[in-house]
């Protein structure tokens, strides 16, 4: 069992101009996983707001994983990767590399995603795309690895490479 925080990053959703379908898609995708959503928030596409929220949640110690949705594309207001990179201690490129590679067969546009994943203290932070369909597809790919990643980050298990 691990604790999750969900952050939807969208100017339109934060202003109430459209529903938060992507954040809800994260919640629904997590329903079959042994985890608990402990925080859920919608914030605008602002680097300082995003980085502050990520740091606050990761440093708080109550979350093992933070999943963001939105702001990972090429639009001028898409700044989620920059905000995430500004606060993580380690980058975990394999998660987002697999998301891009595996979803490429569904849409070649997946290669335009700038999503990143990283660790701050003992919290795994993963950027997901902004569309509900892409959120579902990406989580299907990476969810099997997340519990193990959390255990490693928390020091509960070690990753053996076979080199003793």
Query: Total structural domains in the chain?
Result: 1
* Contact yes or no for 24/58 (Cβ under 8 A): no
What separation in angstroms does the CA of 110 have from each of 43, 62, 106? 24, 32, 8
Residue 159's pLDDT band, with cuts at 50, 70 and 90, is low
Taking the C-alpha atoms of residue 34 and residue 118, their distance in angstroms, rounded to an integer, is: 21
CATH code for the domain of 95: 3.40.980.10
Residue 157's pLDDT band, with cuts at 50, 70 and 90, is confident
Q: Are strands 123-128 and 117-120 parallel, antiparallel or unpaired?
A: antiparallel
Residue 121's pLDDT band, with cuts at 50, 70 and 90, is very high
Give a yes or no: residue 159 inside a domain: no
Domain boundaries, position 71:
2-153
Residue percentage of the chain with pLDDT more than 70: 96
What separation in angstroms does the CA of 139 have from each of 25, 50, 102, 103? 10, 21, 11, 11
Taking the C-alpha atoms of residue 69 and residue 115, their distance in angstroms, rounded to an integer, is: 9
Give a yes or no: residue 163 inside a domain: no
Give a yes or no: residue 141 inside a domain: yes
């Amino acid at each position: 069992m691990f604790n999750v925080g969900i952050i939807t990053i969208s100017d339109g959703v934060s202003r109430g101009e459209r529903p938060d379908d992507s954040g809800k898609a994260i919640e629904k995708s997590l329903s079959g996983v042994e985890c608990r959503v402990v925080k859920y928030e919608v914030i605008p596409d602002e680097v300082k707001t995003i980085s502050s929220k990520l740091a606050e949640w990761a440093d708080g110690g109550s979350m093992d994983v933070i999943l963001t949705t939105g702001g990972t594309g090429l639009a001028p207001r898409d700044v989620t990767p920059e905000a995430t990179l500004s606060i993580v201690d380690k980058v975990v490129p394999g998660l987002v590399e697999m998301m891009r590679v595996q979803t490429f067969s569904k849409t070649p546009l997946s290669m335009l995603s700038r999503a990143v994943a990283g660790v701050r203290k003992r919290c795994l932070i993963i950027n997901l795309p902004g569309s509900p369909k892409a959120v579902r597809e990406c989580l299907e790919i990476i969810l099997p690895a997340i519990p193990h990643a959390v255990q490693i980050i928390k020091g509960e298990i070690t990753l053996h490479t076979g080199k003793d």
